[in-house]
Amino acid sequence: MSDPVVILGLGFTTQRLVRRLRQRGISVFAVARSPEGFTEFTRLGVQLRPLFAEIAKDIPRHAVLIHSIPPLDDDAQNSPVRALVAAIAPRRIVYISSTGVYGSQTEVNATTLAAPNDEKGHARVAEEVWLRAQCPSTIILRSAAIYGPDRGIHVRLREGKIPRGAGAFVSRIHVDDLVAILDAAVESTLQGAWPVADDCPAVSEEVAAWCASLMGLPLPEGNARSFPVAGRRVDGRKIRQLLGVKLTYASYREGIPASLEEENTQKADQ
């Protein structure tokens, strides 16, 4: 693809996506709240723009838009993000949503309907509906918990924190696998809303114990520094089949060691 890609939000996932797109020679415009903090991407040839500046200044119209910014506030009608999307009038939208839109449902697959049970979930669904109304060629990727280098249970364990989920299963996706799915979605014309996850839903306490053993760390005791997790088994196979994407990290057993290795490499290079 030779057309430019516009990315709203430079977070954990989209920063890695930017690098992948630039490696493929794709022109990238990135909109962030504080673009001055992303000089690395300027060196990569990324055109950085501030979110709250003049609407859509110098941003190409009718581009492919990758939208990663969660709903900012309750006043959706006056949202600067919505104003920017409308001004760009993208020909295709790839929206990174969350499996949180499924609410209390504990078994999720490609046919499961959204049923949010909190304000964040309702706001996400409202944003999905609005984006679909703006652009017929919209694909929504409802991601399970994203982990990778410097993010995930292995990082929490270093901080002395442990997940609590009362034995509930949790689904995850390594950031590089999510990036591969996003990249494929950019090139595709596929529409609709799809859950995204790896092939290994697992109980968080079990993952924490496995990870602590791998890292040679003691498991934190008590609940003083625990953090809650939502229990949900997510089947993300369908979207990968449709986009022709194979997981690099089918489970945390492959993804966490790879994340630790990358972290160590980064430290050695510093």
Write out the two tokens for 136. Answer: 């017929």
Helix (H) / strand (E) element for 57: namely none
- For residue 270, what are the contacts with CB-CB under 8 A and spacing of at least 6? none
Taking each helix axis as running N to C, give the angle between helix 119-134 and helix 80-88, from 0 to 180 degrees, rounded to the nearest 10: 20
Q: How far apart are CA 179 and CA 24, in angstroms?
A: 13
Beta bridge partners, 202, equal 170
**Rounded mean pLDDT of 83-109?**
95
Number of CB atoms found within 10 A of residue 244's CB: 9
pLDDT at 258: 98
pLDDT at 269: 79
pLDDT per position as a tens digit, 230-261: 689 999 999 999 999 999 999 999 999 999 99
CA distances (Å), 3 to each of 6, 17, 25, 121, 207, in order? 10, 16, 10, 33, 41
Q: How far apart are CA 78 and CA 24, in angstroms?
A: 36
